[in-house]
Amino acid sequence: MRMKALAAACAAAVVALGGAAAIGAAKLPANIAAALADKGRPAADVQRDAARHPGELLAWAGVRPGMKVADFIMGGGYFTRILARAVGPAGHVWAFQPTEFIKFRAAYADEQKAAAAPYADVTPLTGPLVGLKLPEGLDLVLTVQNYHDMHLKAFPPETAAKADAEIFRALKPGGAFIVVDHVGPPDADTPDKLHRIDPAIIRKEVEATGFRFAGESYLLRNPQDPHDKLVFDPSIRGKTDQVAFKFVKPR
């Protein structure tokens, strides 16, 4: 009886992880495994894989060859490079770097070019967060550790809502919007002070746009994170508690 109870508890734990535990234990899809093994990836990116779990995350997101994907607020291009190989020559990746980010830090433009240049299936895309125009017919939009940036006080209050609406428009019916971000307390100053966001805000805003909530992965959760430190604090950097939500545009 004790063994049966233990087995049941383990099974329940896997289900609670939204499938992330099962994906992590299983062999990654061939396209994603090959993308991670790409020799063109910078060594600094490869070193971050252990903490960021990109393979399991993209497998959970459903990234397949031939997909049309937008890496929304691409940063240094960590996921752009992986996605390029994962969708393959029959697919395409649009690497979006906001003009507001480039104005704040000119190096973002150089990083965008460096990430896109080696891949024929990557198109750099630049424009304002408010007034954003994405290509139509996308299968997936991915944004990692950047949703909170749209809530910085430097941006208009409607920035996130308008970006969500454009992402909804650009996705094909059944397309997915994956949002990964650092978990923070429900305080209006959290994005500016800590570069975090309350997950409830993400769900409320994205679902208000018309998306259907399709699940959560606990792959990047860390219950030891107190949520009260800046994500760049050496004591927590690279180990923050992160939420991963999947939203789907209804068919």
Please spell the DSSP secondary structure of 66-125, one letter per residue. Answer: T-EEEEES-TTSHHHHHHHHHH-TTSEEEEEEEHHHHHH-THHHHHHHHHHTT-TTEEEE
CA-wise closest residue to 99 among 166, 45, 154 = 154
**Residues 8-29: pLDDT tens digits?**
333 333 333 444 444 444 589 9
Domains of the chain: 2-248 (3.40.50.150)
**Residues 21-51: pLDDT tens digits?**
444 445 899 999 999 999 999 999 999 999 9
Q: In the predicted model, is pLDDT for residue 174 greater than 70?
A: yes
Is residue 191 within 8 Å of residue 151, measured between CB atoms? yes
